[in-house]
A and B are shown apart, each in its own frame.
Chain A
């Protein structure tokens, strides 16, 4: 792919447009061309927005021609997960039952902020139905394939977003993360993704799944690009960051069930950072199960009426999970919510001693589509439901997390960089530091993957 066209990142694209070296229309046309040529191999894109994108790109070019600054993301093409409102389109949330829903009357707030900064929306992207899954196996739009190995999952539920960025179709994309839906596909596709501090980025116009845990965030191929997009989404210039000085690895639960490649990669990262101490958190299993139950309860409650009247319109894999979740007693939900105070205190103590905690994002590389299981305590378990082993306990607390790709040979894998609430900017700075030191690196998609 890179042999045919130069794939620019976010900052490179914006700089090129602002300087007049390339027009926004050329950039957007090239992105649409890449999607037309390469998306059939990975199935990341569900809809392209050619007319709108070219019109918006022309408006950016007009700003440049008039000597005005179109914004920090001038002319940068991007895509959004299928649960963001896009004016004039049905917001499907990956569900066939919503493909003919009334079109959105306006763009999601996040899209508006990006467009006001010069970015150009070119496509909507595949996901697990209603974001309830970790593999992007969609009953209507099909499976999104991993650009690094099309026999493997891209991860989910924001798999279309991660695959599109990893494959170079767009420089960045938006996704959402409730239990790991940004971090897992970012890890399996070898790029960066951020799940921000809970409720710190705008959720207006984002189809809900689990309001207690839902967040939106970005994917990009470099930490600097990720920071540039995150800054725009926050709506204010990034404050000066405080460098992290005391990183640590999470052990215990976060070292169990790992593939040997991940264990080795974590050890290499530790050595690269001078030898990291290991922190053990108590009773992580309870936190993970609490997140699982909150998700089932809130997700089930949201869909309860529709499941009662039209259950067969759902993807069976989503439907049966939602139905069972809708039957959870409210007392159990409150119990799961209350455990946040206990586990939150455990995590807060760890983050007082260590300002950034590092944990695997996934057990290892992407599972094969033909063998959709991962080993948990020696038993094969559904990848769709269990890839979030290491991500669910973290988002349960609403902490900011960056998924950073590890510089490993072979299939990509990533780590979670975890900090205290509100330290998103510091976390982005830390990710850039790892990248600069060669301890994190996005994986280039081999050209043959696009043959």
Chain B
């Protein structure tokens, strides 16, 4: 799993698409109130994965 294989596919998509990917993975339906925050945190987690893997940022 590297930069070509990020932990979330929809990182560069809209918040709604990224949050939907997270929701699908968990098998849940996310209320609209969660979408922006979940998407922001998903992007933050990807940033930390890149740091952990020593990828240039």
Write the residues of chain A forming the contact surface with B, with a CB cutoff of 8 angstroms.
283, 285-286, 288-290, 292-293, 296, 304, 307-308, 311-312, 316-317, 319-321, 323-329, 331-332, 335-336, 339, 385
For this complex, 6 residue pairs linking A to B, each with C-beta atoms less than 8 Å apart, are A323-B41, A324-B22, A324-B45, A328-B7, A329-B7, A335-B52
Give the most central of A317, A320, A336: most B CB within 10 Å: A320
Residue numbers in A under 8 Å from B28 (CB-CB): 307-308, 311
CB–CB A289/B26 < 8 A: no
Bound-state Cα–Cα, A335 to B48, Å: 12
8 Å CB contacts to A: which residues of B32-49? 33-34, 36-38, 40-42, 44-45, 48-49
CA distance A329 to B26 in the complex (A): 11
Query: Which chain B residues (1-57) contact chain A, with CB distance < 8 Å?
Result: 1, 7-8, 21-22, 25-28, 30-31, 33-34, 36-38, 40-42, 44-45, 48-49, 51-54
- Besides A286-B54, A321-B37, A331-B1, 6 other A-B contacts (C-beta < 8 A): A304-B26, A320-B41, A324-B38, A324-B44, A328-B7, A336-B52
Task: Please count the residue pairs between chain A and chain B whose beta carbons lie under 8 angstroms apart in the complex.
Answer: 81
**Contact between B34 and A319, CB atoms less than 8 A apart:** yes
A286-B22 CB under 8 A given contacts A320-B34, A320-B40: no
**Interface contact B31-A311, CB-CB below 8 Å:** yes
Contacting residue for A286 out of B1, B30, B51, CB 8 A: B51
A323 engages B33 (CB within 8 Å): no
Question: Out of B8, B37, B49, which one reaches A319, CB within 8 Å?
Answer: B37
Q: Are A289 and B51 in contact (CB under 8 A)?
A: yes
A316 to chain B: which residues have CB within 8 Å?
33-34, 37
B38 contacts which chain A residues (CB < 8 A)?
A: 320, 323-324
- B1: chain A residues within 8 A (beta carbon): 329, 331-332
The answer to whether A323 and B45 have CB atoms under 8 Å apart is no
* B49:A327 contact, CB within 8 angstroms: no
Which B residue's beta carbon lies closest to that of A321?
B41
Which residues from B are CB-within-8-Å of A328? 7, 45
Q: Find A293's partner among B30, B37, B42, B45 (CB 8 Å cutoff).
A: B45
A343 to chain B, nearest CB (A): 11
B40: chain A residues within 8 A (beta carbon): 320
> In the complex the two chains form, is B31's CB within 8 Å of A324's CB?
no
Assembled-state Cα–Cα distance A293/B31 (Å): 24
One of B27, B37, B44, B51 near A308 (C-beta < 8 A): B27
- In the assembled complex, the CB of A19 is this many whole angstroms from the nearest CB of chain B, namely 54
Give chain B residues whose Cβ lies under 8 Å from the Cβ of A332. Answer: 1, 7, 49, 52
Contact indicator B41/A311 (Cβ below 8 Å) = no
**Distance, CA A273 to CA B22, complexed state (A):** 51
A-B pairs, top 4 by smallest CB distance, nearest first, are A320-B37, A324-B41, A289-B51, A289-B48
Contact residues in B for A336 (Cβ distance below 8 Å): 52
Residue of A nearest to B50 (CB): A289
Report Cα–Cα, A308/B51, bound state, in Å.
Answer: 29
Assuming A283-B54, A316-B37, is B22 touching A323 (CB within 8 A)? yes
**Residues A339 and B52 in contact, CB atoms below 8 Å apart:** yes
Complex contact B37–A325 (CB within 8 A): no
On chain A, the residues within 8 Å of B53 by CB distance are 335
